Chain A
Amino acid sequence: MNNPKKESLSSVIYNSMVRNNLVLVLGTAIAPVIVVANTLKNAAILALTFSVITFFTMLLSSFIPQKLVYTVRVIIYIAIGALVYVPTAIIISSLFPQALQNMGIYFPLLITNSFIIFHSDTAFLTEKKGRMMLDLILGIIGYDIVVLIFGLIREIISTGEINGNVITLPILFKAFYQPFGGFILLGIFAAVLRGILLLIKKVSN
């Protein structure tokens, strides 16, 4: 993304995971977050599947020659994603038989997630391999952390439970369990992150 020589490791981590967070800042692959991540367990499975598919797709895509026109290259990225999906689906379904049913069509749709289509060329695949890997891993971790926190809070406020364990809450917002609630809650999350970033900027100045 930026010049690696001028950046310390902490600023690389901060930029990749927080300042350019895939979900809350760049708005990448938000459909499964809105629909699937309505409990902590579903969020964990989404984080796992997203991480595996995106990491291996981007890794293999980085070997595609950049000389090819992007309009053509992008279909190769998606074909790689579809290839990566097959073993991932077999492994995930054997480890978590219920997981694929819970995710429905959102699992295969990870193949065409906007991270692979939009951001692959603008950020990651134009970098050197080492830096690309670091940014990619940090970006994915940033996505996973947000998805897990989002799933946890959504489960608590909409069902009054954490992974099936009941918590006594004075009021429940069941609407947040639905996709429209997911949109609104994710919007609030994005606003909170922006507020935190603004606060950090003010403090550091």
Chain B
Amino acid sequence: MSELFRLISISLVLIFVENTVFTKAIDTSTLISVSRNRKNIFGFWLCAVYFSVVTGFLGFFADKFLLESGIKNEQTYIYQPFVYVAILGVVYIITLLILWKFFYKKFLKIKKFIHLSALNCAILGAMFLNSQNCTMLSEYIFRGIGTGLGFMFAIYITAIVYDRLHDASVPYCFRGYPLTLIYIGIISMAFYGLASTTVR
């Protein structure tokens, strides 16, 4: 039971304290882009969590494979990205095929944004962070859940103020993108205070 609580707390920390967007700035570009186009935001969220968990799960076996393959520790960083991208690609293609075959109507809706939710720095970054911080399969999965939900949380926090950040009353020079960055910076400052950890 205590192990389950520990794993849940890992996920909660990744959502509310060490949020990958607000403390590590990972995938801010996608965040800004998605909060701008809020039409498919719920579908995007679900896809991001799904890819984060599945790639986190497979990342465990990839790390094990790299560890046992005889590649020197200091050279792992060279081959690790290629292995992770291969995993991401396979999961992405299989997901597309399943959706196309069995849920064609859903596939038509999802195909507009699925590449954004799957092939982004948050998902790939989560795999790298997992390999640095996890040793057990359960940790990989719960960190995957935490990263996916944390990304959702960051999008929500940015999307709810979108109209205000783009309001005509805001001076033209700061309206929209510049003010969004400053807004994320202030939120990030609060998260940084909570996390009080160093980046990387």
Contacts and interface: CB of A to CB of B under 8 A. Distances in A.
B32 interface: yes
Contact of A194 (B28, B178, B184, B200): B178
A187 to B, nearest CB: 3
B106 to A, nearest CB: 14
Contacts of A90: 78
A20 to B, nearest CB: 13
Contacts of B115: 70-71, 74-75, 117
A167 interface: no
A89 interface: yes
A35 B32 CA distance: 17
B41 to A, nearest CB: 17
A83 B82 CA distance: 7
A78 interface: yes
A30 to B, nearest CB: 5
A143 to B, nearest CB: 12
With most chain B CB atoms within 10 A of its CB, the pick from A108, A117, A181, A186 is A108
A184 B119 CA distance: 27
A27 interface: yes
28 contacts: A25-B177, A27-B29, A27-B32, A30-B28, A31-B29, A31-B121, A70-B115, A71-B114, A74-B115, A75-B88, A75-B89, A82-B82, A83-B82, A107-B77, A109-B26, A109-B128, A111-B124, A118-B29, A182-B25, A183-B185, A184-B182, A184-B186, A187-B179, A187-B182, A190-B181, A192-B173, A195-B173, A198-B172
Report, nearest first, the 7 A-B pairs whose CB atoms are least far apart: A183-B185, A187-B181, A114-B29, A187-B182, A184-B185, A104-B200, A180-B188
